[in-house]
Amino acid sequence: MTSKELLYIEDALGHEQFFQTKCAQTAGEIQDPELKSFVENIASQHRQIFSDFYGLLG
């Protein structure tokens, strides 16, 4: 892989971590159970995307 490709992968993984963290934090602040569950699901999806993407590297 080129250094540019590695930087892209690093950015993509960082974005997925950021999205997962922000969604989890936001879910912790939401009172409405249905909305909270929806946001937690989005956090879970970002966690899975990160895991899948990271798994492709190994």
Match 């946001």 to its residue by tokens.
39
What's the chain's average pLDDT?
93
Residue 27: pLDDT band with limits 50, 70, 90: very high
Count of Cβ atoms closer than 10 Å to residue 56 Cβ: 7
- Region 8-36: mean pLDDT is 95
Residue 21: pLDDT band with limits 50, 70, 90: very high
Q: Which residues contact 16 (CB under 8 A, 6 or more apart)?
A: 46, 47, 49, 50, 53
- Output the pLDDT for position 58: 75
Residues 31 and 55: their CA atoms lie apart, in Å, by 35
Residues 48 and 54: their CA atoms lie apart, in Å, by 10
